[in-house]
């Protein structure tokens, strides 16, 4: 049966961003009988033994306790499971000198749902017909933002400015404050810090500037901290989470080893939290409580923050270094630039003047057994036709050390061929009558 879909039905069943590419990747892996691929496309974290053990131990403790029945056999409050809320309040107050109360916290089934609630509660058409924008101040950013707005027209991303170190083949995106507009028609602002896909960490000053621009219009700023400290602590440069009246600090336990349990945490002003909580009640009543109960234990004991800083962070930081050093050694003399690896679990490579598209490069890399993600999917909401969006790829740091090294060497060879072929073609077209 082919059901007739509404406008929204069509919108929500459309494969956006990386989901469209993932379909191609799954088909490639399935049909590539006999061919071994180094798959560096995943956003799925690896299972680290210490992390798995932590969650196993917390589960065993929960199973052995009288709390178990209360957790899984009963409904609870929309806002979240009280012991987890209390654990977050205590941890953040102590760690960052805050004075949060339980009313400042909302637990959601994964942080993706949090962005969905916020994008539609604050962005879209108001009762008077004004379109409130969901502003992404620095594009590229998380591909998942492309699917959260029920009113697609509301999603609005801004081109960044680029800090380029030509000699070292490195670069960094920065918000372009000469272009960025936050005004009366802004519903909310959203960005990831550290950033998926680039590994960028916006500086405190940059964040404060965005927050101040938004505060002038009472606009909430959602800081997607899926990779930030204190857990999973996937920052490789110093950074402190920032809090404030119009900041919604949004966390996820997915990269701290719990993606299957779907836990997102929002910390912010009581009134903002209440809006999101109502949205959640209508959508799904509340998040599952089993994951919340084990998370409460891991946070209260201090084990989660400890494992994040001492196991998860160094593990991915080392992978990032392998990508960097291999590219430094193997890349040909072409204008390539790696984004500064300041966090997250990805490397982001920009190939300036790339003679083919990112999609064609992705296909060429598949031919040599390497799968990455073409960068074009990471510019949701960007309306400019900017060639840069077709010159980048995202490399996931989830391969083994050896696989990452081999893949980067193969990538270097393919890149050399692509630029050389283009130079030959250009010469021939000059010579041809
Ligand atoms: C930047 C960013 N935000 C949000 C998410 C969604 O995470 P969750 O599993 O909490 O829904 C991801 C997942 O990869 C992400 O990379």
Closest C-alpha residue for ligand 1 atom 3: 226
Which residues are CB-contacts of 99 (< 8 A; sequence separation ≥ 6)?
Answer: 93
pLDDT at 431: 63
Q: Are residues 319 and 287 in the same domain?
A: no
pTM for the whole thing?
A: 0.96
Last residue of a domain, one of 249, 274, 306: 306
Determine the Cα–Cα distance for residues 373 and 143; give it in Å rounded to an integer: 11
Question: Does a structural domain hold residue 430?
Answer: no
Question: Does a structural domain hold residue 330?
Answer: yes
Question: Does a structural domain hold residue 174?
Answer: yes
Between the CA of 197 and the centroid of ligand 1 the distance, in Å, is: 11
Domain that holds residue 263: 50-306
Span 274-309, pLDDT tens digits: 999 999 999 999 999 999 999 999 999 999 999 999
> Could you tell me the CATH number of the domain that includes residue 17?
3.90.1150.10
Span 105-114, pLDDT tens digits: 999 999 999 9
3-state helix, strand, coil in the chain (%, to 5): 45, 15, 35
Question: Does a structural domain hold residue 2?
Answer: no
Q: What is the best residue among 143, 226, 231, 232 to mutate for testing ligand 1's pocket, by most ligand atoms within 8 Å of CB?
A: 226
Question: Does a structural domain hold residue 213?
Answer: yes
Question: Does a structural domain hold residue 432?
Answer: no
Last residue of a domain, one of 306, 339, 361: 306
Q: Are residues 275 and 152 in the same domain?
A: yes
Confidence of residue 430 (pLDDT cuts 50, 70, 90): low
Span 184-217, pLDDT tens digits: 999 999 999 999 999 999 999 999 999 999 999 9
Q: What is the best residue among 254, 255, 260, 396 to mutate for testing ligand 1's pocket, by most ligand atoms within 8 Å of CB?
A: 254
Q: Are residues 209 and 76 in the same domain?
A: yes
Q: Are residues 210 and 283 in the same domain?
A: yes
Q: Are residues 94 and 37 in the same domain?
A: no
pLDDT at 388: 98
Determine the Cα–Cα distance for residues 259 and 430; give it in Å rounded to an integer: 54
Q: Are residues 255 and 282 in the same domain?
A: yes
pLDDT of 433 strictly over 60: no
User: Which atom of ligand 1 is the closest one to the Cα of 115?
Assistant: 4
Span 125-173, pLDDT tens digits: 999 999 999 999 999 999 999 999 999 999 999 999 999 999 999 999 9
Last residue of a domain, one of 289, 306, 323: 306
Between the CA of 252 and the centroid of ligand 1 the distance, in Å, is: 7
Q: Are residues 350 and 290 in the same domain?
A: no
C-alpha torsion sign, points 46, 48, 54, 57: positive
Q: Are residues 313 and 232 in the same domain?
A: no
Q: Are residues 225 and 295 in the same domain?
A: yes
Closest C-alpha residue for ligand 1 atom 14: 43
Span 365-412, pLDDT tens digits: 999 999 999 999 999 999 999 999 999 999 999 999 999 999 999 999
Rg over alpha carbons for the chain, rounded to the nearest Å, is 22
What value does the mean pLDDT take over residues 51-69? 97
Span 74-85, pLDDT tens digits: 999 999 999 999
SS3 for 188? Answer: strand
Q: Are residues 276 and 317 in the same domain?
A: no
Question: Does a structural domain hold residue 431?
Answer: no
140 upstream amide cis, omega within 30 of 0: yes
Q: Are residues 146 and 243 in the same domain?
A: yes
Q: Which residues line ligand 1 (CB under 6 A)?
A: 43, 110-112, 142, 144, 192, 196, 224, 226, 252, 254, 259, 264
Number of domains in the chain: 2
Between the CA of 199 and the centroid of ligand 1 the distance, in Å, is: 14
Which residues are CB-contacts of 44 (< 8 A; sequence separation ≥ 6)?
Answer: 259, 398
Cβ contact 132:123 at 8 Å: yes
What value does the mean pLDDT take over residues 30-38? 83
As a whole number, the mean pLDDT across the chain is 95
pLDDT of 263 strictly over 70: yes
Q: Are residues 138 and 174 in the same domain?
A: yes
Question: Does a structural domain hold residue 192?
Answer: yes
Residue 283 vs residues 8, 46, 78, 176, 329: alpha-carbon distances, Å: 16, 30, 10, 36, 51
Q: What is the best residue among 143, 252, 253, 397 to mutate for testing ligand 1's pocket, by most ligand atoms within 8 Å of CB?
A: 252
């Amino acid at each position: 049966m082919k059901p007739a879909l509404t406008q929204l039905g069509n919108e929500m069943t459309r494969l956006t961003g990386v989901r469209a590419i993932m379909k191609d990747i799954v088909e490639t892996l399935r049909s590539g009988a006999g061919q071994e691929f180094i798959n560096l496309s995943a956003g799925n974290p690896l299972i680290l033994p210490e992390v798995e053990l932590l969650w196993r131990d917390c589960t065993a403790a929960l199973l052995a306790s009288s709390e178990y029945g209360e957790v899984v056999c009963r409904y609870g409050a929309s806002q979240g499971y009280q012991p987890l809320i209390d654990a977050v309040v205590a941890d953040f107050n102590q760690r960052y000198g805050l004075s949060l109360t339980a009313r400042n916290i909302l637990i959601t089934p994964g942080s993706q749902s949090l962005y969905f609630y916020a994008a539609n509660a604050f962005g879209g058409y108001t009762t008077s017909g004004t379109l409130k924008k969901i502003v992404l101040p620095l594009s590229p950013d998380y591909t998942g933002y492309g699917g959260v707005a029920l009113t697609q027209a509301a999603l609005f991303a801004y081109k960044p400015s680029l800090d380029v170190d030509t000699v070292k083949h490195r670069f960094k995106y920065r918000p372009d404050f000469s272009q960025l507009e936050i005004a009366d028609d802004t519903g909310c602002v959203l960005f990831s810090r550290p950033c998926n896909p680039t590994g960028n960490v916006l500086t405190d000053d940059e964040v404060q500037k965005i927050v101040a621009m938004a505060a002038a219009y009472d606009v909430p700023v959602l800081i997607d901290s899926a990779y930030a400290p204190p857990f999973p602590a996937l920052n490789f440069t110093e950074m402190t989470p920032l809090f404030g009246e119009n900041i919604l600090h949004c966390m996820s336990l997915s990269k701290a080893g719990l993606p299957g349990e779907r836990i997102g945490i929002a910390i912010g002003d009581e009134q903002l939290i209440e809006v999101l909580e109502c949205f959640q009640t209508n959508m799904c009543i509340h998040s599952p409580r089993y994951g919340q109960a084990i998370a409460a234990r891991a946070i209260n004991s201090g084990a989660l923050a400890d494992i994040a800083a001492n196991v998860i962070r160094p593990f991915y930081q080392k992978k990032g270094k392998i990508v960097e050093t291999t590219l430094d050694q193997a890349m040909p003399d072409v204008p390539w630039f790696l984004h500064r690896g300041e966090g997250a679990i990805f490397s982001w490579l920009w190939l300036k003047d790339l003679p083919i598209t990112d999609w064609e490069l992705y296909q060429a890399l598949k031919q040599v057994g390497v799968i990455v993600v073409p960068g074009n999917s990471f510019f949701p909401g960007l309306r400019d036709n900017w060639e840069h969006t077709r010159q980048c790829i995202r490399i996931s740091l989830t391969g083994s050390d050896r696989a990452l090294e081999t893949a980067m060497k193969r990538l270097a060879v393919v890149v050399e061929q692509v630029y050389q072929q283009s130079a030959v073609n250009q010469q021939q077209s000059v010579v041809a009558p």
